[in-house]
Structure 1
Amino acid sequence: MTFSIKSNALLTLTLTISILSCAQNTTEKATPIFKDGEAQIVDAFKDASQWIRHDLWVETEFDTDGDGEPDRMHVSVTRPEQTESEGLKLPIVYVTSPYFAGVAADAPGTMWNVEHELGEIGEERFHPEVQRRGQRPIISNSHIRKWVPRGYIVVHSSSPGTGLSDGAPTIGGANESLAPKTVVDWLCGRAKGYTERNGDKEVKAFWSTGKVGMTGTSYNGTLPLAAATTGVEGLEAIIPIAPNTSYYHYYRSNGLVRSPGGYLGEDIDVLYDFVHSGDEDKREYNNKTVRDTEMKNGMDRETGDYNEFWAGRDYLNQMDGMKAALLMSHGFNDWNVMPEHSYRIYKAAKEKGLPTMIYYHQNGHGGPPPTSMMNKWFTKYLHGIDNGVEKEENKVYIVREYDDRQQPTAYKDYPNPEAEDVTLNLFSGGKNIGGLTLNNVENAGEMFSDDATISGSEHAKASSSKHRLLYVTPKLKEDLHISGVPKVTISLASSKPAANLSVWLVSLPWQEGKEVKITDNIITRGWADPKNHNSLTKEEDLVVGKDYSITFDLQPDDQIIKLGQQIGFMIFSSDKEFTLHPEPGTEIMIHLDKTKLTLPIVGGKAAFKKATE
């Protein structure tokens, strides 16, 4: 009896083990799921408490902090636990930034003083120190809740000279391209990673498929482009959002010293101080070699000219090796990182034959494409799902002025293929309100006096002013669609050897109140230094009273001006929000018969005539 009981128990145990074993063998492993060309949220991946999070240092091939050792970049990883327990390999969404470990506090004197004459540099500014923050192993939590549940691994890294990364911040220098390149190399098994900053125990990305995509906003959107210009294998797609693609275009405009919107007096060395959160022991060396030598000698606030320093920080000059598919995003009313930054790269990438798409909205700085659009882009290029996104006839998605940002309108391209340049002439009355017309008008000239204490919006609202000239179309009888890059040619003479030149294109009457959108007033803007009328690289003093002609682009735009409005072309000198502030009084004569505004209008001259006659 005893034997029989034991035998039955053993049989039961054996059967139980066999059944459990069969059940385990038939349990499906967690894998990404796709529907309608998009990666779906997978139940097995969405529990954040089960994610594996760890950090490491990837060793580069450069030394920018002068310690004689290759700089190592601090990297953190967030991945589903199945990459450990089930051997699952997944593609990577990678985000890198100089901001993750904190930035300098806003303090008086950190910006350059703009209250001085043109051609001067102003008084020395205050250099703040960054108090580094953050704890291992987490560098950032950005993007993890969007992408990890959809079957991606999210990787973050701190830029050179920030956080726990070695090196020096260079604000667009070569190491800011090579650092993320090396992280991609590590993700693809071509570079070495270590568990500690100075250790020798290696870490391998055994969970990586070797397919990497990058994204981010502003500076974090610049760095995906920087990495892509290296041509690194494995970086399949990038989604830069409001990226700064040229530090010259960010801090200068057509030879003019110009601040980014909202940061009057900022320059490249200010941004260096703002992000320099790296090793305190390395900061003195970094400051001396980068900020106080390379930047001081190259940034040239005296003239604002384009030079080798700025050319080396312009990613348009570095695109020959770029292979990654490109989805751009930008706001047409971003007066910080202005819309030309994305347009110039989108245009170049398209000319290279790269898979390219762009999303524009009508708001200010930042603003990603709809998640569905990003999802399809990464699904195609990182997971390899043939969803046809690269074959879409429409390459451009623009949020119309009063639409939801998740509901953009599709267009074949940007500028709108149906847009044609229409050249408008000026006729007198600009101190009050002059006219804009298709007809050639014989006019002499009109003069205004510079006064940087008056804002651009005050100029636009004034029915009469001696400090600006304003020329407007008739009231529109129907909507008028502008799409592309407006241009101006201005013929002028100055009472001084140097002058600011500012242009606003506005929609009038000027709207006020809480419900007013930015597109209700400002169409686009532009700034230039008349001393650079012949060359961006070499200015020449203006001869007092001598006539000069300068042609330059305004910022790209795509806007529908509503019927009942008037398009206003406003010319003035110092822009209180963007330029240096010389003493008031510089007088500028504008020769109306040689001054033109060219607008890219959908439907061309016929559409303009229909809307205005």
Structure 2
Amino acid sequence: MKSTHLICFLFLGVLCCHVGSSVADDGEPVGPVFKDGEAQVVEAFKDPAYWLRHDLWVETEFDTDGDGKPDRMHVSVTRPAQTETEGLKLPVVYVSSPYFAGVGVSGDEYFWSPRQELGATPPKREIAPPVKRTGTRPIISKSHTEDWVPRGYIVVHSSSPGTGLSQGCPTVGGDNESLAPKAVIDWLCGRGKGFSEPEGGQPVHATWSTGKVGMTGTSYNGTIPLAAATTGVDGLEAIIPVAPNTSYYHYYRSNGLVRHPGGYMGEDIDVLYEFIHSGLEANRDYCDCNVRDELMLKNLDRETGDYNDFWASRDYLNDLQPLKAAVLMAHAFNDWNVVPEHSVRIYEAVKEKGVPCQVFFHQGGHGGPPPMKLMNRWFTRYLHGVQNDVEKDPKSWIVRESDKRENPTSYVDYPHPDSQHVPVHMIAGSPGQGTLSMEAPSEQPLETLIDNFSFDGASLAKAESTQHRLIYVTPELTTDLHLSGTPKITVRMACDQPAANLSVWMVSLPWNDKKDAKITDNIITRGWADPQNQESIRKSAPLEPGRLYDVSFALQPDDQVIPAGQKIGLMIFSSDKEFTLHPKPGTKLTIDPNKTTLSLPVVGGKEALQTALMPSAE
């Protein structure tokens, strides 16, 4: 391939370049190359020294900073030189984020204190100092460029509203975080307005775009593709959200309970607002007053944890009707930051809509995109229009426990089509271990536990005897047991106080502190609920001390093979040190094991579970 001579610089925000010609050795114009349904690395696109990089501002349809003018989003473009020298048009991989310009300081002093009595007004927290914005023009980020530009794509980045050099206010799931990427996509498709400067400036047009756009990103950056897709914007053909936060209620609450994301005790939506607000200093007071104080602090409700209209407006499941972009979801079953239900709930809804979709799961923690082959086939089909039959590929790809993330196992769907819910029952044994059995027990006495957040879940699961939890354990499995789907539980319980936390863990025992290749995690899944919300997550009612209530809720989705030789334990306790509020210890919960049931999603159903629990022939 011939090299391209290229010099680029910015003058008053306008891209100025001297570019030489660039064609293949045989004189044919350079363009994307495909093999086996995947876009290939093109030699002429590989060298970053010959990429064009420039930035601009795209005008939106909203004004969230109160200045009376439409907010403009800061956008940067990275594209092969051939889009200038030869008029080559290419599809776009677009990534948007609130993090590109830096984030705020993080520390316990800026979080809400978890030491709060349930139902009480939380103690005030200290406001975090302003974010110190980082980054220089014209490059917002270099993420994803090495993956996609050499394969014949243009990569576009934008800072979300109220971050970096983008105007407006961050709203953490508000409408402007959906409409901002929509505006950028409209511009990429020739419908929107782009300018060389945040105020005034010369018009900028995306003449190098085919009008086919895909979005991807991880965590918050994975939420924004879904947010954009819910607008139904034309031109957004496919998205690959990785560990997306699809509902801020499900991120900061659980079944009526205040429940913090794993690793971030005391964080709430207002804390995240401060963490990402790296936007213009001139807008800070207005945004703090109108978004953080008037909107968030008045509606986040750390007293009850109830669902309300504020939270409903930040749940993308409620906004899926316009969505038409093909969706490849990615998540980890051991992600306790953005728990796996975030992706499962969207995947199930998108599948129900009939929109093309696949899902990729691995057994690790937060983040982790699908293998390049899966992503490449997805974008090749929907952005380049190559008929590679990706629609006929298996819908579900799951990394098995001992495999590498690049080597997932394919399944017809998720949950596994052969998975069936099997009820299991509790046989009392407190303060030691009770039994988890397929046989319904004869009448047995009630059991009690005493709440004390001082003991973490792992310590409670490993304890031979303790009054601070109830645990029910199966016999040792004689064969591997494959669980696939969402376990569900009904706990019949009473409390001696008007309010209590309720936490449930499913664990694999004996506990393996060292971990090995086969047992990757002792925690199978977890779940949390507020007994005050046993009838509705929108309205809580004080518990009548001593009265038995049925509290039914789902645990987190999973797909895991529990190896032979392990036992499955169901642990019921109150305050979860790693996730819930920490009320004063001493609340007593009474559990009725006769009416407490767990529904396990077992591949092979009842027969498979019976086989795994059958005594060994030896």
If the TM-score is normalised by the length of the shorter chain, which range does it land in? over 0.9
Aligned-pair distance for 1:105? 1.3
Residue 127 of structure 1: aligned partner: 127
State the secondary structure of the residue aligned to 1:79: strand
User: How is 1:199-598 mapped onto 2 (pairs within 5 angstroms)?
Assistant: 199-392=200-393, 394-441=394-441, 442-513=443-514, 515=516, 519-598=520-599
User: How is 1:142-153 mapped onto 2 (pairs within 5 angstroms)?
Assistant: 142-153=143-154
CA distance in 2: counterparts of 1:462 and 1:107, whole angstroms: 32
Relative to structure 1, the CA distance from residue 379 to residue 64 in structure 2 (aligned partners, 3 Å threshold; closer, same or farther) is same
Relative to structure 1, the CA distance from residue 190 to residue 444 in structure 2 (aligned partners, 3 Å threshold; closer, same or farther) is same
State the secondary structure of the residue aligned to 1:435: strand
Residue 609 of structure 1: aligned partner: 610
**Which digits, 9 at most, give the CA deviation of each residue in 1:66-125, with x for residues without a partner?**
011100000000000000000000000000000000000124411100112111232211
**Which digits, 9 at most, give the CA deviation of each residue in 1:194-222, with x for residues without a partner?**
00000231000000000000000000000
**Which digits, 9 at most, give the CA deviation of each residue in 1:543-591, with x for residues without a partner?**
1111111100000000000001110000000000000000110000000
Residue 118 of structure 1: aligned partner: 118
Relative to structure 1, the CA distance from residue 480 to residue 26 in structure 2 (aligned partners, 3 Å threshold; closer, same or farther) is closer
CA distance in 2: counterparts of 1:348 and 1:565, whole angstroms: 34
CA distance in 2: counterparts of 1:97 and 1:430, whole angstroms: 49
8 Å CA contact retained: 1:177, 1:230: yes
8 Å CA contact retained: 2:519, 2:563: no
Residue 57 of structure 2: aligned partner: 57
8 Å CA contact retained: 1:501, 1:528: yes
Which residue identity does 2:459 align to in structure 1? E
CA distance in 2: counterparts of 1:107 and 1:537, whole angstroms: 31
Aligned-pair distance for 1:515? 4.5
8 Å CA contact retained: 2:261, 2:336: yes
8 Å CA contact retained: 2:401, 2:517: no
**Which digits, 9 at most, give the CA deviation of each residue in 1:28-75, with x for residues without a partner?**
111000011100000110110010000000000100000111000000
8 Å CA contact retained: 1:333, 1:518: no
Which residue identity does 2:207 align to in structure 1? F
Which residue identity does 2:195 align to in structure 1? Y
State the secondary structure of the residue aligned to 1:297: coil
Which residue identity does 1:470 align to in structure 2? I
Q: How many residues align?
A: 591
Structure 1: which 5+ residue stretches go unaligned? 1-20
State the secondary structure of the residue aligned to 1:330: strand
CA distance in 1: counterparts of 2:379 and 2:457, whole angstroms: 42
Give every structure 1 segment of 4 or more consecutive aligned residues whose post-TM-superposition deviation is greater than 6 Å: 23-26
Greater Cα shift, 439-448 or 361-370: 439-448
Which residue identity does 1:511 align to in structure 2? N
8 Å CA contact retained: 2:164, 2:280: yes
Residue 10 of structure 1: aligned partner: none
State the secondary structure of the residue aligned to 1:109: helix
Aligned-pair distance for 1:444? 2.1
Relative to structure 1, the CA distance from residue 71 to residue 258 in structure 2 (aligned partners, 3 Å threshold; closer, same or farther) is same
Aligned-pair distance for 1:514? 6.1
Higher helix share: 1
Structure 2: which 5+ residue stretches go unaligned? 1-20
Residue 16 of structure 2: aligned partner: none
Which residue identity does 2:224 align to in structure 1? L
8 Å CA contact retained: 1:488, 1:551: yes
State the secondary structure of the residue aligned to 2:32: coil
Greater Cα shift, 513-522 or 479-488: 513-522
1:198 aligned onto 2:199: yes
8 Å CA contact retained: 1:363, 1:518: no
CA distance in 1: counterparts of 2:444 and 2:294, whole angstroms: 51
CA distance in 1: counterparts of 2:211 and 2:61, whole angstroms: 20
Percent of aligned pairs with the same amino acid: 63
CA distance in 2: counterparts of 1:560 and 1:190, whole angstroms: 50
CA distance in 1: counterparts of 2:419 and 2:108, whole angstroms: 47
Aligned-pair distance for 1:163? 0.2
**Which digits, 9 at most, give the CA deviation of each residue in 1:443-471, with x for residues without a partner?**
22100000000000000000100000000
Aligned-pair distance for 1:520? 3.1
8 Å CA contact retained: 2:113, 2:266: yes
CA distance in 1: counterparts of 2:309 and 2:214, whole angstroms: 31
Greater Cα shift, 183-192 or 123-132: 123-132
CA distance in 2: counterparts of 1:325 and 1:25, whole angstroms: 37
Relative to structure 1, the CA distance from residue 481 to residue 430 in structure 2 (aligned partners, 3 Å threshold; closer, same or farther) is farther
Aligned-pair distance for 1:516? 7.4
CA distance in 1: counterparts of 2:124 and 2:139, whole angstroms: 37
CA distance in 1: counterparts of 2:145 and 2:548, whole angstroms: 58
Relative to structure 1, the CA distance from residue 357 to residue 210 in structure 2 (aligned partners, 3 Å threshold; closer, same or farther) is same
State the secondary structure of the residue aligned to 2:466: coil
CA distance in 2: counterparts of 1:372 and 1:26, whole angstroms: 29
8 Å CA contact retained: 1:333, 1:519: no
> What is the TM-score when the length of structure 1 is the normalising length?
0.95
State the secondary structure of the residue aligned to 1:605: helix
CA distance in 2: counterparts of 1:115 and 1:180, whole angstroms: 39
